[in-house]
Amino acid sequence: MRNRLLRRRGLGGTILACCLLTVVLAMQAGIARAAAAERPELGAHVLVFSPSMPAAAMQRQIDRVYAEQEHSEFGSGRYALLFLPGEYHVDVPVGFYTQVLGLGATPDAVHIVGNVHADASLPHNNATCTFWRAAEGFSVTPTGGTMQWAVSQAVPFRRMHVRGNLVLHQNGGWASGGWMADTLVDGNVGAGPQQQWIARNSEWGSWTGANWNMVFVGVPHPPEGEWPAPPYTKVDKTPAVREKPFLQVDAQGNWSVRVPALRRNSAGITWRGGSTPGRSIPLSRFYIARPDVDTAATMNAQLARGMNLLLTPGIYELTEAIRVTRADAMVLGLGFATLRPTRGTAAMTTADGNGIEIAGLLFDAGPVTSPVLLEVGPQGSKAGHTKDPISLHDVFFRVGGAGVGRAEVNLRIQSRDTIVDHTWIWRADHGSGVGWTSNTSVNGLVVNGDDVTIYGLFVEHHQQFQVVWNGNGGRTYFYQSEIPYDPPDQASYTSAPGINGWASYKVADGVTGHEAWGLGIYSVFLKPHVVLSRAIETPRGPGIRFHHMITVALGSLGGISNVIDDEGGPTSMEPRVTPKVAEFP
């Protein structure tokens, strides 16, 4: 076409056409430079990939990160791999403390043709320690038609589109996951030997497999079958939730954070009709924090002047708490950004304000005992937040494992109308600094606020009650808990005269309204003659209901005497008995 125009127009036309072409090229170059100029400085541990990059060069960077993180269960490396909108032909193995994130408005805006996979971190295809990694916000056409996601706790799988099948294990090996939200799988999801799983607001062609405790909330087409055989717990609608905030980049290269809208009584994914409903906050309204530069004081100063926080990957050593004091403030972490208090303070506290969002952070206890790691609202919080709840997404807690850590309470929720959307609250049972008198932690979660709702509650190994629920109107959708392995004897693990141990899930005596669905509590005692009287302890009343509970003794020592209060009967290993209670009362 251009040659025909030049012949028709002659020399003058040639000059004009060349000038126009020069202008067009200059404009394109200017747009490209502007987009590049607007790219934020996210530090060396955030890798941003573009479809224009050579695939081999991208693969070398991906492989370098995985070589560092593949076996780094308690290492200091933290990484985020960000993919701008477009198509990629790469293989992405996802190691410890690695977040793979698509930057499109919808998952289909970023398309990876090849493998994205989480592999078992222990021999014999054992994925029970495949922790702390994430895949969010992109689509995958997997090589061979099946994507492998062999994972356990603290592994977000959000806003994903798998254009094929998905398996949640590696070659039939054990796994102890897991979490899925706002995700579409075109083919089959194969759970295999996954011990437990929660899928919220997700869709698939089919689901196969079950083990102990599989919970489906807001899933339009859950698998057929009813508790206890298979152990499926199905809740048709998700009562109230907003999806996790996420980074996005538009066609002009503008970066922003999308804040999904609150949904009530919902089922299925948010993005079937296009981008997820909500609002976008320009990245210019975020202070981008770096672990080698920032302190709690510098971050608090930015929060005080009205900025939000984006924490880049790394470990933030804190001499005081980060204080979130403004309604609608957001703190968003990339690459498992880790907050570690060093002087016995909280790592973070919030005001009792509407719409506060905390997402994508790992709270790691320091060597001096913290009274609490994250406190949502001050003591005595009374404000209602029904129309604009406080929400926590993918917030994880660890006491010990990477070194000595100590905390009295990991997460304490004082504010009412708070939503927790996926958490793992873990007192380490292995790693460095682990022992009954070394990595000490009284409770994982304490809820004092009314009308708190939690989806995907994983709490393990704390030394007294794993969960204490003092507020009214609480709701839990899926609970997974291993009680502590390491009480040295029964005398050290007795909560009251005649009561062995501390129940995993404790509803306080004065509570009149509480409901929970799909609870699995497990024991692995390392010392003989140690038992737990009951896995769940609750008052009775017309407003208190529990649905679908199971207990399992995973070791050869001790066990659990009852599932809930004095009902359910004991676990046993010879032969193995896994007591179940369908409904209580």
Q: In this predicted model, what pLDDT tens digit does every residue of 181-240 receive, in sequence order? A: 999 999 999 999 999 999 999 999 999 999 999 999 999 999 999 999 999 999 999 999
| Helix/strand/coil for 27 | helix
Query: By the 8 A CB rule, do 269 and 202 touch?
Result: yes
pLDDT grade for 155, boundaries at 50, 70 and 90 = very high
Beta strands in 191-290 (DSSP E): 196-200, 203-208, 213-217, 232-235, 238-241, 246-249, 255-260, 263-266, 278-282, 286-289
Range name among 30-34, 380-384, 541-545 with the lowest pLDDT average: 30-34
Tens of pLDDT, residues 115-131: 999 999 999 999 999 99
Tens of pLDDT, residues 18-39: 443 343 334 334 434 444 447 8
Query: By the 8 A CB rule, do 425 and 458 touch?
Result: yes
Query: By the 8 A CB rule, do 395 and 425 touch?
Result: no
Query: By the 8 A CB rule, do 426 and 402 touch?
Result: no
Query: By the 8 A CB rule, do 546 and 516 touch?
Result: yes
482 is a catalytic site residue = yes
Query: By the 8 A CB rule, do 482 and 432 touch?
Result: no
Contacts of 209 (CB under 8 A, 6+ apart): 168, 189, 190, 191, 192, 193, 194
The mean per-residue pLDDT over the stretch 316-330 comes to 98
Give the pair of three-digit tokens for residue 111. 């398309």
Please say if the pLDDT value at position 92 is more than 70.
Answer: yes
Contacts of 467 (CB under 8 A, 6+ apart): 443, 444, 445, 446, 447, 457, 459, 479, 481, 504, 505, 506
Q: What percentage of the chain carries pLDDT values higher than 90?
A: 92
pLDDT of 7 reads 32
Catalytic hit among 482, 515, 567, 583: 482
Please say if the pLDDT value at position 551 is more than 90.
Answer: yes
Cα(428)–Cα(444) distance, rounded to whole angstroms? 12
Tens of pLDDT, residues 414-448: 999 999 999 999 999 999 999 999 999 999 999 99
This model's pTM is above 0.85: yes
Tens of pLDDT, residues 54-83: 999 999 999 999 999 999 999 999 999 999
pLDDT of 180 reads 98
Residue type, 172: G
The domain limits of the chain are: 1-38, 280-584
> Dihedral angle at the C-alpha atoms of 526, 527, 529, 534, nearest 10 degrees?
-40
Residue type, 204: W
Alpha helix segments (H runs only) across 228-371: 296-304
Pick among 1.10.8.60, 2.40.128.50, 3.40.190.80, 2.160.20.10: CATH of 280-584: 2.160.20.10
pLDDT of 203 reads 98
Cα(316)–Cα(323) distance, rounded to whole angstroms? 14
Query: Are β-strands 544-553 and 580-584 bridged in parallel, bridged antiparallel, or unpaired?
Result: antiparallel
Cα(390)–Cα(352) distance, rounded to whole angstroms? 9
Q: Which of 334, 342, 385, 384 is nearest to 362 (CA)?
A: 334
Query: By the 8 A CB rule, do 242 and 456 touch?
Result: no
pLDDT of 177 reads 85
Cα(397)–Cα(349) distance, rounded to whole angstroms? 15
SS3 per-residue string spanning 356-418: CEEEEEEEECCCCCEEEEEEECCCCCCCCCCCCCEEEEEEEEEECEECCCCEEEEEEECCCCE
